[in-house]
Amino acid sequence: MPVDFSGTWNFVSSDNFEGYMLALGIDFATRKIAKLLKPKKVIEQDGDSFSIHTTSTFRNYSVQFKIGEEFEEDNKGLDNRKCKSVVTWDGDKLVCVQTGEKKNRGWSHWIEGDELYLELRCEDQVSQQVFKRA
């Protein structure tokens, strides 16, 4: 049985989100707002199908995918760059590779106890976010 990421997850903490946003070329004003946000994640997992909704008081972002199936991602409201994304399992970790203009771009999700971890990667920057089950 694979891990079940389904549920509502509330923001706990993050580190180096600023470095990640700088690597993505996010402007100063947007970064100042974005770093204060405490986003919520709602994840629906049905077999190999996932939807991840990230919501905040400033911007929302949603993505749907099936494990192993490449999809076009537009990152609308984030850096607005398009990339080809694919999500696979690495053991109990969900690993997304986002191929496009930015090197080494992607993210991973995993669960430890009642906490959801998100590692965001872009170029030489790594940011980690922690969420707790609502």
Which residues lie near ligand VL7 (CB under 6 A)?
A: 21, 24, 26, 30, 34, 37, 39, 41, 52, 54, 56, 58-61, 63, 78-79, 107, 118
Which position has the token pair 């090197």?
Answer: 103
The minimum distance between CB 91 and ligand VL7, in angstroms, equals: 18
Q: Which residues of 96-116 are buried (b: 16+ CB within 10 A; e: fewer)?
A: bbbeeebeebbbbbbbeeeeb
In this structure, what token pair is assigned to residue 80? 């607005």
Considering all CA atoms of the chain, what is the largest pairwise distance in Å, rounded to the nearest integer?
Answer: 44
Q: Which helix (H) or strand (E) holds 19?
A: helix 17-23
The minimum distance between CB 108 and ligand VL7, in angstroms, equals: 9
The minimum distance between CB 94 and ligand VL7, in angstroms, equals: 8
The minimum distance between CB 1 and ligand VL7, in angstroms, equals: 21
Select 62 or 114, whichever has its Cβ closest to ligand VL7. 62
Select 86 or 107, whichever has its Cβ closest to ligand VL7. 107
Select 76 or 114, whichever has its Cβ closest to ligand VL7. 76
- Are the beta carbons of 36 and 21 closer than 8 angstroms? no
